[in-house]
Amino acid sequence: MSPRAYRLGRREADTEKTRARIVAAARRLLLSPRGFAESSIDAVAREAGVARMTVYHRFGSKRGLLQGIFDDLAARGGMSELRDVFRNPDPLAALSEFISVFTGFWTSGRVVIRRLHGQGVIDPALGEALREREERRREGLRVIVKRISEKEGRPRAAAFDDAVDTLFTLTSFETFDSLARGKRRPPDVTALVHRLALAAIRGEPPRGGNKPS
């Protein structure tokens, strides 16, 4: 009747290893040209050298597995550097670093992130989960923009949201994925985005009488 006390102890390391193996296998399959088509739970389990049921025990569902992959990417992909960014006293420099960090992150898991985002559009629940994680990026940008406007003294009201949302868009994966093509390497993308970002926070109205109709 009374359950006996039981801690995993040494076993915990093993279970973490299987979990990692599954995530790694899924990531590998997601990278393949056929992408999602090859990433059935069955295929992932085989690639990881594990039974199909184990995947369900660890992640509950395919959705859970995909969320696990994303979190794994975020953990490895240099997101930890964000702490340092906000320690920078110069907010404009912080913005620069912020952009660099995310360019790096998108680069590190480009194909996988692209597929995850795609699936996030198809599966509303997964999309919501991914969007939740992205909101931290927006929150970070709010802090930076606030500091900039305090320092430079530009307190226009609606302009604040415009600046934040614009920067959020400019630092999004989709923008990166669209710009990083042809001969343009990640640092070049960073430079491009940086220029646009400065234009966005400068907030000057268009001159020359070419108002959008």
Looking only at residues 152 through 191 of this chain, which bind a copy of itself when binding is defined by CB under 8 A? 161-162, 165-166, 168-169, 172, 174-175, 178-179, 181-182, 184, 187, 190-191
Q: In sequence order, what are the residues at sequence separation of 6 or more whose Cβ sits closer than 8 angstroms to the Cβ of residue 169?
A: 175
- Under the binding rule (CB under 8 A), the answer on residue 210 touching a copy of itself is yes
∠ CA 170-122-177 to the nearest 5 degrees? 30
The two tokens of residue 104 are 């790096």
61 binds, among DNA, a copy of itself, none (CB under 5 to 8 A by kind): DNA
The two tokens of residue 126 are 């997964």
Q: How many residues bind DNA (CB under 7 A)?
A: 32
Looking only at residues 24 through 53 of this chain, which bind DNA when binding is defined by CB under 7 A? 37, 39-43, 49-53
115 binds, among a copy of itself, DNA, none (CB under 5 to 8 A by kind): a copy of itself
Are residues 119 and 36 in contact, defined by beta-carbon separation less than 8 angstroms? Answer: yes
Tokens 């900039």 belong to: 148
**Among residues 51 and 75, whose Cβ is nearest to DNA?**
51
89 binds, among a copy of itself, DNA, none (CB under 5 to 8 A by kind): none
Are residues 203 and 209 in contact, defined by beta-carbon separation less than 8 angstroms? Answer: no
Q: Quote the CA–CA distance of 60 and 65 in Å, as a whole number.
A: 8
Among 23, 25, 27, 63, binds DNA (CB under 7 A): 63
Q: How far is CA 205 from CA 9, 62, 176, 198, 211, in A?
A: 62, 47, 26, 14, 10
Are residues 170 and 135 in contact, defined by beta-carbon separation less than 8 angstroms? Answer: no
Chain contacts with a copy of itself (rule: CB under 8 A): 33-37, 90, 92-93, 95-97, 99-100, 114-115, 117-124, 161-162, 165-166, 168-169, 172, 174-175, 178-179, 181-182, 184, 187, 190-192, 194-196, 198-200, 204-206, 208, 210-213
